Amino acid sequence: MFNFLISAKVYQAGFAAARGLLSIMHPMRIEIGFLTMVLAVATLAPAVVLAAGGPVAQPSATKTYTLYGDGTAGQNGWGFTANTVTYPGPTLYANQGDTVSLSLFSKDGMGHIFVVDWNSDGIKNGADVNSTQFSSTTTATAFSFTADQAGTHQYFCSLHTAAVQKGPLIVNATGGGGTPSSDNTTLIIGGVVIVVAIVAVVAAVAMRRKKP
């Protein structure tokens, strides 16, 4: 709605400038030139609005992480590498709707199961998603899930429990919350470009007709 108000302002300013230019160049053709511009802008404006504005969520992407799990007391937790295992483990980030693609390894050679604790109760149940059990220190076990719930969540190992292996998963909300301010900037630039282009075309046509 705000976008439409801005675009209307831009086009009004464009029309005023174009009218002034045309009245200097060829008074007799003001109305024809103006009508041409109105038709052209009416055709192009919806495309600009669609391209620049609207509550369109950013396209989903794939976030890729490598995680090493360790359930051995004194060195337990998760790490992006075998040598950086901590408790709690490193934060995994995603935008809502992203696919999180994990390559899972075992640091200590024991079996682990990676769980996303969507319902935040510390155990694997309900809508929680989990990998298969993995224990290889050298061969990755792949596990992907959709980050469909915005907010700060935790992941953990269901075999060693969250008390031994857990870490944060932050899912940023996208879409439905209005459009970033940069969208308005894009819209204004798009509107100005179109108006200037139309003025140039109409001016060129008017000048050409003026010649004998």
Letters for 77-96 (x = contact with Cu ion by CB under 5 A, - = none) are: --------------------
Structure tokens at 21: 């230019």
To 10 degrees, what angle do helices 30-52 and 182-210 make? 160
Find the shortest distance in angstroms from Cβ 69 to Cu ion. 5
Find the shortest distance in angstroms from Cβ 108 to Cu ion. 8
- Nearest CA to 169 among 104, 107, 110, 114? 114
112 binds Cu ion (CB under 5 A): yes
Stretch that binds Cu ion, among 52-60, 104-112, 123-131, 176-184 (CB under 5 A): 104-112
Query: Total number of residues binding Cu ion (CB under 5 A)?
Result: 6
Find the shortest distance in angstroms from Cβ 115 to Cu ion. 10
DSSP H or E run through 103: strand 99-106
Stretch that binds Cu ion, among 42-50, 63-71, 74-82, 169-177 (CB under 5 A): 63-71
77-79, strands of its sheet edge to edge: 77-79, 62-70, 99-106, 141-146
Letters for 164-193 (x = contact with Cu ion by CB under 5 A, - = none) are: -x----------------------------
Structure tokens at 162: 């969250």
Q: Nearer to Cu ion by C-beta: 36 or 161?
A: 161
Find the shortest distance in angstroms from Cβ 107 to Cu ion. 10
Structure tokens at 121: 């109760």
- The three-state DSSP-derived secondary structure of 10-42 is HHHHHHHHHHHHHHHHCHHHHHHHHHHHHHHHH
Q: Nearer to Cu ion by C-beta: 52 or 113?
A: 113
Strand partners, 173: none
For CA atoms 9, 11, 12, 17, give the dihedral sign: positive
Chain positions contacting Cu ion, by CB under 5 A: 71, 112, 157, 159-160, 165
